[in-house]
A = this chain, B = another copy of it.
Amino acid sequence: MRGEAGGVELTSPRSPRVTAARRLHKRAFRSQDRRFLAEGPQAVREALALAPGAPGRPVEVFATAEALARHDDVLGPAAAAGVPVHRASGEVLAALAQTVTPQGVVAVCTLLDVPLGAVLEQRPRLVAVLANVRDPGNAGTVLRAADAAGAEAVVLTDASVDVYNGKCVRASAGSLFHLPVVLGAPLPALVEGLRGAGLRVLAADGAGEQDLDALADRPGAQGLGGPVAWIFGNEAWGLPEESRRLADAVVRVPIHGRAESLNLAAAAAVCLYATARAQRADGGCRAGG
């Protein structure tokens, strides 16, 4: 690990460079500076794997001497590729990180959301929409599940939490850097766009009139085999009536036991995986991972 990281260690949480990064803990400054923080070696590794110039690519990295030594596989190539890596004291890292036990690495990344049009022109076959999701941990966990299930994009509507919130970034476990994210779409325009691009729009709701398993049993696009966009509601896992009306169908995950509902991330994972399975069984155009 040479280059900038070999220089003077940043020891003051009040130095201009650190202060400029720290203020990204606040949403207003993230919007203004068009930057956010990604914390921990996993997220930083995924961010650095992005092509130079790609949205989300780190503009600088802060790391303790210990982290520099331990994660040389991640940080060495960063410095070589022209991403400044600043050696920083534990106190500086603690000021930049939001977890109690920071792992010694924080990157300042450019915002990475893309316009809806850029996603739709790729003709995606599986999209997850978060409408009104307020808890950043839940949003990040759904993003991770959507990535795992092979979704080609995640959309957060205008009433949802900020995807660049530190808790969301951490809960996504790197997935924020894996698939296109669209922000701020109002639900009616979004549904129109998705439908125009050939996706069937399904709203997930505990009170849905269609049973997920019954739907999955139907062949092809009658079931879940065609292109599908899922809308997931807020933490109580409900969607308001006006949102449900926008969808082509409202679908419930069956509750076989006595639970009132599933939590958001579990419900989303079940819906997305049922769709991925149906799309693959129908010989969709995508190869299995």
Chain A residues packing against B (C-beta within 8 Å): 42, 141, 144-151, 173-175, 178-179, 213, 216-217, 253-263, 265-270, 273-274, 276-277, 280-281, 286, 288-289
8 Å CB contact of A256 from B42, B149, B260, B268 = B149
8 Å CB contact of A289 from B257, B266, B276, B281 = B257
Q: Is the CB of A262 within 8 A of B175?
A: no
Sample of 16 further A-B pairs with CB below 8 A, known A148-B259, A265-B266, A266-B266 = A141-B263, A141-B266, A145-B266, A146-B257, A147-B259, A148-B256, A148-B262, A149-B257, A150-B257, A213-B277, A256-B276, A258-B289, A266-B269, A269-B270, A270-B273, A273-B274
Given contacts A265-B263, A269-B262, A277-B213, contact A288 B173 (CB under 8 A): no
Contacts of A270 in B (CB 8 A): 269-270, 273
Give, as a whole number of angstroms, the nearest-CB distance from A267 to chain B.
8
- 18 A-B residue pairings within 8 Å (CB atoms): A141-B263, A144-B259, A144-B266, A147-B258, A150-B257, A151-B257, A173-B263, A175-B257, A178-B257, A179-B257, A179-B258, A213-B277, A213-B280, A254-B276, A254-B289, A256-B276, A257-B289, A270-B270
Q: Which of A42, A141, A146, A216 has the most CB of B within 10 A?
A: A141
Q: Which of A216, A256, A269, A289 has the most CB of B within 10 A?
A: A256
